Amino acid sequence: MRQKIVAGNWKMNLSPTEAHDLVAGVGAYLSGLINTPALPPNHKQHTVLFCPPSIYLAQVVQQVTALNLPNLLGVGAQNCHWATSGAYTGEVAAQQIAQTGAGYVIIGHSERRQYNHETHDILAQKTLAALTANLKVIFCCGEPLEVRNANEQFEWVGTQLTQSLFDLPQTAMQQIVIAYEPIWAIGTGQTATPQQAGEMHTYIRQHLTNQYGQATANQIPVLYGGSCNAQNAASLFAQPNVDGGLIGGASLKVPDFCAIAQALLTSDI
C-alpha cells in the first residue's frame, strides 16, 4: 500500500501565535483520534503535513516533535532555491530547510510558476537540490482553465512531469509526491469533481508507469489540490488514484483541516 498524505499549504498566512494555535489544535485532535478504534490499521502509513512560511519552519518542527506522533505528523517548506548556498538574497536553500528538521518541500506550485516565472528547467533544478538535501518533494502540476476548455489538460500535465522530473533515476523518483492542482480550482471554490480528479490521477499514474514501470509508479502518492475542503475531501479521496490532498484555505482552520485529515485516515475503511 502506498503512503497517503494531507498537506496544509499555509501560503503567506498566519501570525506566529496563529501558527502555534493551529498546530496545537490539529495535534490535539489527531492525538485523540489515533487512540480510537475508528481508524483502520493501515492509517499508520499515512501522513499529515504542515507547510508553513519558511520563517515558521523551526517553530513548527519543534511543536510537531513535542507532539510525538512521528509517523503521522510532518513538516514541509513551500519552496527552495536550486543552489546549495551563495549570493541569493531572500532565498532559502534546501539544505537549510532540512536542517530545521522539515522533511518535505513543495516545488512548482502554480503561484510560484506564475509570479516567480519558474520554468520546467528551474523546477527540475530545484527538485534535484531538494532530493540532494534528503527532502521529499511535493511536485505540483495542473492546467489553467483555457487548457481544460480546449481538452488539452492531459498533454499539459504530462509535459510538466516529463520536463521537470523524468531525468531523475528511479531511486530518486521514489522520493517524489505529485500534487495535481488544476489552476481553475485553486482558491476559487470550484473544486474538480471526483470524476475529473480521478481521470487525471489515473492518467498521471499511467504516465509514471510508462517512464518508470508499474512498481515505482504504484509507490508514488498523487495528491489532489484546489478547493478541497471538509465537505468534499472524502469523495475525492475515495477515488482509486487520489492519495490525499494539498490543502490551501481549508488548512488554516483547525476544524476544517482536522476533518480533512480524518477523511484521509479513514479512507481505507
Q: Which of 52, 182, 221, 226 binds ligand PGA (CB under 6 A)?
A: 226
CB of 7 to ligand PGA, least distance (A): 8
Report the alpha-carbon distance of residue 9 to residue 108 in Å, rounded: 13
Q: Which of 143, 181, 243, 256 binds ligand PGA (CB under 6 A)?
A: 181
Report the alpha-carbon distance of residue 24 to residue 21 in Å, rounded: 5
Considering the rule CB under 6 A, would residue 178 count as an interface residue with ligand PGA? no
Q: Which of 187, 190, 214, 238 binds ligand PGA (CB under 6 A)?
A: 187
b vs e for 172-190, b when ≥16 Cβ sit within 10 Å of the residue's Cβ?
ebebbbbbbbbbbbbeeee
The amino acid that residue 32 corresponds to is: G
Q: CA nearest 159: which of 142, 146, 145?
A: 142
Considering the rule CB under 6 A, would residue 182 count as an interface residue with ligand PGA? no
Q: Which of 77, 247, 261, 265 binds ligand PGA (CB under 6 A)?
A: 247
Answer whether 82's CB lies under 8 Å from 129's CB. yes
What is the total count of residues that contact ligand PGA (CB under 6 A)?
Answer: 13
Q: Which is nearer to ligand PGA, 208 or 228 (CB)?
A: 228
Considering the rule CB under 6 A, would residue 249 count as an interface residue with ligand PGA? yes
Q: Judged by CB under 6 A, which stretch of 82-90, 151-159, 230-238, 242-250 contacts ligand PGA? A: 242-250
CB of 109 to ligand PGA, least distance (A): 6
CA angle 245, 95, 54 (to 5 degrees): 55
Report the alpha-carbon distance of residue 22 to residue 121 in Å, rounded: 35
Considering the rule CB under 6 A, would residue 256 count as an interface residue with ligand PGA? no
Q: Which is nearer to ligand PGA, 92 or 247 (CB)?
A: 247
Report the alpha-carbon distance of residue 178 to residue 165 in Å, rounded: 10
For 100, the enclosing helix (H) or strand (E) is none
| Phi, psi at 42, each rounded to 5° | -75, 5
Beta bridge partners of 222: 178
Q: Which residue is nearest to ligand PGA (CB)?
A: 248
Q: What amino acid positions are annotated as catalytic residues?
A: 109, 181
CB of 236 to ligand PGA, least distance (A): 11
Q: Which residues bind ligand PGA (CB under 6 A)?
A: 9, 181, 186-187, 225-228, 246-250
